[in-house]
Amino acid sequence: MFYKVTCILLLCMIVLPLFSYGEYREVYVSLKDLMIAVNEYEEWVECMNLELKDMVLSGYIKSIVEKLRIAAGMNDHFWVRVLRFSEPNAFSFANGSIHISAGLFNSIDNEAQLALLLAHEMYHTSLGHHIKRRYELHEKSYEVTRNRAAWSILGTGGTADKALQRAMSGFSKKLETEADNNALLLVMKAGYNAWESLGLFINLNDRFEKDSIQYDSVYATHPRLLDRLKTCRAALTRLSLDSSLGVHNRDQYLRTVTPAILEGCDLFLRDGEVDNAIDIANSIIEYDRSLARAHETKAKAFFIRGKKDDLDSSFLHYREALEMDSSRGNLFKDVGYVLLKQGKFKEAKNYLQHYLDLNPDAEDTAYIMYYLKKNYE
């Protein structure tokens, strides 16, 4: 009997690895092929001008990531890119690359909430969720693990746009919850106020409801935001945490991420979501009335919306932006267009002429000169 049992065990030790070998053979490929795919995706992002490049913002986010990485004792390497998308989303690749949409910053109140979001994405990489997801979906994937971090081919056949779609597709509820729980503990360890996580989920849920964002495609596999809020509150209650402990860093956050928030406003205007852009510009102006670009964005939104009295509001905000920063020649042109639409042609001429004086080599110089000559000479 002992002999038979021993033979069966030995047979299992030999045969079972053979069954899994075919699966692993599809998973692991050479680092060279992986690097080709990563480079293809990075080139695509550059070619499409998808990244919002701001040195101050990038340095700020990098410092938060490093603070979290050290607190967690992670050996993984991470870097973050802010992309020109208005949809509220963040996603990561198995190589440690984290991507945040500019529109997501509109739903984040402070550094503690941003830290939670970053920690969540970092754990997706650190815990090997990209590899686990491939197995869950029974997809053929090609990944190689190195020092607990994995480089993954980004899309079928190395196609960059499909790579982005895959990256943005969600993990299972189990993996999302695991990343949430670990992120919550990490922000506490890093000295942040963990209770701010509740504010992040509330803000995102409000955004989903306001914009009628559905839990399909990208978000289909995620736990509902209200469920995540409930789970997070229960965890904080179990830990008996004092809600006054830990830092928020709201002022530094708002000062630093304002370019990304206003970029999100511009994306809303591009997508026709004018009221969203106005609301966000209002929140920035309430925080700091001296930001010329916030007034410019609000003025542009009023001009595009074109409701009753919107042209007057547009003119006033353009004037405020000019008073704060008269070196931005395009503002004179924009004011000129508002005045033209109001039928105030002589005033419009003065602003347009001043724009030409400041920007004699602008691309639209010939058009504006022709217009002025035709109508005023």
10 or 267: which leads in pLDDT: 267
Q: Alpha-carbon distance 342 to 353, whole Å? A: 18
What mean pLDDT comes out for the span 145-171? 41
What rounded mean pLDDT belongs to the chain? 78
Q: Is the pLDDT of residue 366 over 90?
A: no
Q: What is the DSSP string of 118-166?
A: HHHHHHHHHTTHHHHHHHHHT----EEEETTEEEE--SGGG-HHHHHHH
What mean pLDDT comes out for the span 61-65? 96
Q: Alpha-carbon distance 261 to 203, whole Å? A: 15
Q: What integer pLDDT is reported at residue 134 of this predicted model?
A: 60
Q: Alpha-carbon distance 268 to 85, whole Å? A: 9
What mean pLDDT comes out for the span 210-225? 67
Q: What integer pLDDT is reported at residue 312 of this predicted model?
A: 94
Q: Is the pLDDT of residue 126 over 50?
A: yes
Q: What integer pLDDT is reported at residue 136 of this predicted model?
A: 56
Q: Is the pLDDT of residue 57 over 50?
A: yes
Q: What integer pLDDT is reported at residue 157 of this predicted model?
A: 36
Structure tokens at 99: 């991507």
Q: pTM of the prediction? A: 0.75
Q: Is the pLDDT of residue 53 over 80?
A: yes
Q: What integer pLDDT is reported at residue 70 of this predicted model?
A: 96
Q: What is the DSSP string of 266-293?
A: HHHHHTT-HHHHHHHHHHHHHH-TT-HH
Residue 22 pLDDT class (50, 70, 90 cuts): very low
Q: Is the pLDDT of residue 133 over 80?
A: no
Q: Is the pLDDT of residue 62 over 60?
A: yes
Least confident range of 153-162, 243-252, 342-351: 153-162
Q: What integer pLDDT is reported at residue 15 of this predicted model?
A: 37
Q: Where are the domains of the chain?
A: 21-238, 272-376
Q: Is the pLDDT of residue 260 over 60?
A: yes
Structure tokens at 312: 């007057």
Structure tokens at 192: 């942040």
Q: Alpha-carbon distance 266 to 268, whole Å? A: 5
Q: Is the pLDDT of residue 11 over 50?
A: no
Q: Is the pLDDT of residue 23 over 70?
A: no
Write out the CATH class of domain 272-376. Answer: mainly alpha
Q: Is the pLDDT of residue 142 over 50?
A: no
Q: What integer pLDDT is reported at residue 243 of this predicted model?
A: 84
What mean pLDDT comes out for the span 284-307? 89
What mean pLDDT comes out for the span 145-172? 42
Q: What integer pLDDT is reported at residue 221 of this predicted model?
A: 62
76: three-class secondary structure by DSSP? coil
Per-residue pLDDT reduced to its tens digit, 30-44: 445 555 666 677 788
Q: Is the pLDDT of residue 306 over 90?
A: no
Structure tokens at 220: 């289909």
Residue 193 pLDDT class (50, 70, 90 cuts): very high
Residue 250 pLDDT class (50, 70, 90 cuts): very high
